Amino acid sequence: MNIEIAGVSLYYIISWFFVYSFLGWLWETAYVSVRKKKFVNRGFINGPLCTIYGMGAVSIYLILKPFGNRIIVLYIGGVVVATILEYLTGWLMEKIFHTRWWDYSHRKYNLQGYISLGTSLGWGVFTLLLFKVFQPFVSWFTDLYPQNIGEIALIIIMVLYAADFITSASAAFGLTKSFAKVEDMLEDITQYLHNSKLYETREEIQERLETVRAHLRTQEVAERLSVRKQEFMERFETLFEEKRLLDSENYLSKKAEMEQKLDEFVKKYTDIRKKQNIVKKRMVYAYPELKNQFKKYRKKHQKE
């Protein structure tokens, strides 16, 4: 704990990391909860910590500490350091979990969706606040209690953090596998319905199935799937009625086959949703775009 990095002891570096991670979690959770008008527990892990904020704040402070009184250098340095960290974190998480946890592709002047000009400029403002407001407060807070007590608290927090991180990483890998299964199932049922000529294009079928993806609760998914199944069967009967083939043997066999296919799809899809544990559900709830980001990632790499 007495080892120094950039003139700061490891004890304080770790302490600051957790304090900033907590403050980052407060900001993220409050911001998203207000936008969604309901509580959303943000962050990769389940506990009240956003690691990227802790890592970013401490890294920026240690790197730019020699320029603490030069506002222009702090601003530009904050933009550069935070942007590099955000890009590397986004790229690394995508490579590991095969999906994106944030995406700036819809914003102007973005780089591969990992970073954007507006966000990077905002990091510069954050850096000024870090040196002039947050760091004095965080330093004051970590000096309130004796170091020996702080070290005991840090050991407990690090053990809990490590356990939480491992649990969350395992859940994230599990989500990737679940997303892959769902995409394969959606592709199979779309191809089957398209071959049955229910609709003229695959896009029409995909658009109808896409509404299922938007629902997070298992009960809502089951209800939506039931509606879609009924819609497809009514469409099927309408097409045969138009061709005056309702009494044909082909109609009865095709109808039984389609009902079986749709029932199998509904069962497998709802089973996957039911098997998601509380950690996976929390992640999808906190990052509802994960499913769509995985879909984009998969399509991109299939083309490659």
Nearest Cα neighbor of 21 from 155, 134, 128, 124 is 134
DSSP 38: S
Tokens 């029932």, residue located: 263
Which pair of tokens denotes residue 86? 């955000």
User: Where are the strands (E) in 8-103, listed by range?
Assistant: 8-9
Rounded Cα distance between 191 and 206, Å, is 10
Q: N- to C-terminal Cα distance for the chain?
A: 47
Rounded (5°) CA angle 152-156-160: 165
Q: What are phi and psi of 256, to 5 degrees?
A: -65, -40
Task: Spell out a b/e string for 116-143, using b for 16 or more CB atoms within 10 Å of the CB, else e.
Answer: beebbeebbebbeebbeebbeebeeebe
Do the Cβ atoms of 70 and 107 come closer than 8 Å? no
Tokens 């509380």, residue located: 278
Low pLDDT (below 50) residues in the chain: 245-247
Task: Spell out a b/e string for 247-286, using b for 16 or more CB atoms within 10 Å of the CB, else e.
Answer: eeeebeeeeeebeebbeebbeebbebbeebeebbbbbbbb
- Integer-rounded Cα radius of gyration of the chain: 25
* pLDDT score at 172: 86
Task: Give per-residue pLDDT as tens, 103-158.
Answer: 898 888 999 889 999 999 999 999 999 999 999 999 999 999 999 999 999 999 99
Length of the chain: 304
CB atoms within 10 A of CB 213: 16
* pLDDT score at 69: 87
Residue 116 pairs in a beta bridge with 110
Strands 110-111 vs 8-9: parallel, antiparallel or unpaired: unpaired
* pLDDT score at 208: 80
Do the Cβ atoms of 171 and 283 come closer than 8 Å? yes
Task: Give per-residue pLDDT as tens, 237-262.
Answer: 787 776 654 445 677 778 888 888 88
Rounded Cα distance between 15 and 141, Å, is 10
Three-state DSSP state, 5: strand
* pLDDT score at 300: 64
